[in-house]
Structure 1
Amino acid sequence: MGGLYGHGLAMMLVPMYVHPAADPGAWRALAAAADRLYGVVLNVADGPGGSPDPAFASAARDLRAAGVAVLGYADLDYGRRPQREVLDDLDRHRAWYDVDGFLFDQAPDQAAWLRACKRLVKAARARGGRTVVLNPGVHPAPGYASVADLVITFEGDWEAYCRAPAAPAWTSGHPAERFCHLVHGVPPGLCSVAGRTARLRGAAVHCAVTGHGRNPWSVLPPALKEPSP
């Protein structure tokens, strides 16, 4: 990752929320684009699911073999979900898919939840999570940037991204590699613009897709269909 960052190029964190049997080509493309990926989020069923899925296990092995970090998805429900349930998700992700780390979706953003979030991140690392990502989807209270490896400070559609306010001043005290923007519903041909915009707004990690609807993350980022720069 450092080499690409050194040349000012953004890396991609890809939520690939489609079953490998439904779109095997997309998963193969992710492995082939390892040098451009921060990681891939593995989301079987809003988490690891109720039992191991051999197709996801195989896809995760292929990604790891290619050098891609695989992150297991866990929903925090903005701090309302019981910690025991979250920890159970982490344990299943590790046991069934041997993930390298975790993405905490719907993470809280208020300072009052910071201590509880720190405990979860500590528990994730104790379970072998080398990379931990928080996704509040907005700029959280400043302390969150020091808790995890990466904080997703925008998740939404292209129209909302175009109207998004400037990053708060405190973000300038952290490297751009700490922040990520996830943008869906991007008009065809503008995903590269979204990537450049993320970098200009202080986020060195991004994902921009044309997908929309209930699961916009079921499609491959168009940038990964292009040759490496």
Structure 2
Amino acid sequence: MPEAGAGTGTDTGVRTGFGVPGLAHPLLAPAEWNALTRPGAGGPLHWVVLNVANGPGVRPDPHCLEAAGRLRNAGVRVLGHLDSAYGLSGSGELISKAHRFIDWYQVDGFLLDRCPADRAALPEVRRTVGALRVIRDDAHIVLGHGTHPYPGHAEIADQLVTFSGPWSDYRWSQVAEWTADHPPERFCHFVHGVPGPHLEEALRIARWQGAATVYLTDRTARDGRTDPWEPLPGYWDDLVSRIGMGVSE
């Protein structure tokens, strides 16, 4: 496969849409959550992650119930956020949280964030995903590796996050050759710190690398104290219009 920076905008057949990895709590970011369900403003949303309090919280949250309900009524998948902590979170703890997500918020699936990516972790990840599918057999499962994992992980879940990081790394990144054996719908890229003038370049890299689900934002992680995914990007409407007009097709 070519380097990510290669490509001239030629149609690759990739139909790009958004995966929103972790907006702030609806009480803290009401405008952001409202923007996702504003008629004609949400764009092609593949899914939105709900993270109440590092998971589902200890009791149903009315603000999250309302936000999740509005998205699901609009036909948008809502995924519960489960933090694997690179394998340090036990499977039992994750499954307990998944049950609460299903019971309280009727989520459509899960983002297994900080998922371990090596070959040795494969059996445990497979067991965890299998248990999640017992809870809901049609659950949409996204493994949030943030990097290219051992190829066997692709056989376990619906989607893999194969890049999560800053624009300074993304613009020079390379795609793993084994990803060419799978359709673009299987891969997600999350990129923060993308300057507005580089939006089209970032979309072109995602197409060239074969990732159909993206999240691009101008927000940055400042000294590890700010989560760049919590607010919507400042150019959200522009980004939506680019994909809505077929720029990324």
Q: CA deviation at 1:23?
A: 2.3
- Aligned partners of 2:75 and 2:211: how far apart in 1? 22
Q: Verify the 8 A CA contact 1:192 1:223 in the aligned structure 2.
A: no
Runs of 4+ displaced beyond 6 Å: none
> More helix by proportion, 1 or 2?
1
- Aligned partners of 1:8 and 1:151: how far apart in 2? 16
Matches of residues 1-229 of structure 1 in structure 2 within 5 Å?
A: 8-32=14-38, 33=41, 36-128=44-136, 130-164=139-173, 166-213=174-221, 214-221=226-233, 224-226=236-238, 227=241, 228-229=244-245
Q: CA deviation at 1:81?
A: 1.2
Q: CA deviation at 1:16?
A: 3.4
User: SS where residue 207 of structure 1 aligns?
Assistant: strand
- Aligned partners of 1:158 and 1:173: how far apart in 2? 26
RMSD of Structure 2 on Structure 1 (CA): 1.9
Structure 1 segments unaligned to the other structure (5+ residues)? 1-5
Q: Verify the 8 A CA contact 1:191 1:222 in the aligned structure 2.
A: no
Look at both structures and tell me which one has the larger radius of gyration over its CA atoms.
Answer: 2
Q: Verify the 8 A CA contact 1:191 1:210 in the aligned structure 2.
A: no
- Give the TM-score of the pair, scaled to structure 2: 0.84
**Percentage of pairs with the same residue:** 41
Structure 2 counterpart of 1:52, one-letter code: P
- Which fold has the larger relative contact order, with Cα–Cα distance below 8 Å and residues 6 or more apart in sequence? 2
Q: Verify the 8 A CA contact 2:159 2:187 in the aligned structure 1.
A: yes
Q: CA deviation at 1:34?
A: 5.1
User: SS where residue 170 of structure 1 aligns?
Assistant: helix
User: SS where residue 145 of structure 1 aligns?
Assistant: helix
Structure 2 segments unaligned to the other structure (5+ residues)? 1-11
- Give the TM-score of the pair, scaled to structure 1: 0.91
Structure 1 counterpart of 2:36, one-letter code: L
- Aligned partners of 1:204 and 1:224: how far apart in 2? 18
User: SS where residue 216 of structure 1 aligns?
Assistant: coil
- Aligned partners of 1:73 and 1:171: how far apart in 2? 25
- Aligned partners of 1:67 and 1:137: how far apart in 2? 27
- Aligned partners of 2:117 and 2:13: how far apart in 1? 31
User: SS where residue 171 of structure 2 aligns?
Assistant: helix
Q: CA deviation at 1:207?
A: 0.5
Instruction: List per-residue Cα deviations over 1:73-127 (Å, max 9, x = no partner).
Output: 0011111211111111101111121111000001011111111111111111111
**Residues 1:72 and 1:192: Cα distance change in structure 2 (over 3 Å):** farther
Q: Verify the 8 A CA contact 1:16 1:220 in the aligned structure 2.
A: no
